[in-house]
């Protein structure tokens, strides 16, 4: 069973860049045709898809965050990275990494990490 674990600073200052790591265990991130996603959830709010990197090397980002976000992978370390720049208080959220699969007609997030809370302070 694949497991995902997010890590990174719990507190960052506004205007700075957030860097998070998702470490995957139990399988190689290149073993299948998977998409590696970041999703966040502001306190008391719903889920927001941030973007993904997929095994063929491409990326896709939420248009509302595209100018500030970058997702990359290190296959040798079995890790996925998120960088989010120009932080504001609105970026305070629990950040999840999740494995995605696409099928004809639908997409699923079938494995999730436990999430890591990031607070942006002024």
Partner 1 sequence: SSELTQDPAVSVALGQSVKITCRGDSLRIYFASWYLQKPGQAPVLVMYGKNKRPSGIPDRFSGSSSGNTASLTITGAQAEDEGDYYCNSRDSSGNHLVFGGGTKVTVL
Which residues of this protein are in contact with partner 1, per CB under 8 A? 37, 39, 46-49, 52, 60-63, 96, 100, 103, 105-110, 112-115
* Of the candidates 50, 37, 53, 47, the residue with the CA atom closest to the CA atom of residue 4: 37
CB of 113 to partner 1, least distance (A): 7
95 bridge partner residues: 40, 116
CB of 62 to partner 1, least distance (A): 6
Q: Given the complex with partner 1, which of 13 and 26 has the nearer CB atom?
A: 26
DSSP symbols for 14-61: TTS-EEEEEEEESS-TTSSS-EEEEEEE-TTS-EEEEEEEETTS-EEE
Q: Given the complex with partner 1, which of 16 and 54 has the nearer CB atom?
A: 54
CB of 105 to partner 1, least distance (A): 5
Contact 60, 41 (CB under 8 A): no
CB of 107 to partner 1, least distance (A): 6
Q: Given the complex with partner 1, which of 74 and 110 has the nearer CB atom?
A: 110
């Amino acid at each position: 069973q694949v497991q995902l674990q997010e890590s990174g600073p719990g507190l960052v200052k506004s205007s700075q860049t957030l860097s998070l790591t998702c470490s995957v265990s139990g399988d190689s991130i290149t073993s299948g045709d998977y998409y590696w996603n970041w999703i966040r959830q502001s306190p008391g709010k719903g889920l927001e898809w941030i973007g993904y990197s997929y095994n063929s090397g491409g990326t896709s980002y939420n248009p509302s965050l595209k100018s500030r976000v970058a997702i990359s992978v290190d296959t040798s370390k079995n890790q996925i990275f998120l960088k989010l720049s120009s932080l504001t208080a609105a970026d305070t959220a629990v950040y999840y990494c999740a494995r995605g699969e696409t099928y004809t007609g639908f997409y699923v997030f079938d494995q999730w990490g436990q999430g890591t809370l990031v607070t942006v302070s002024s």
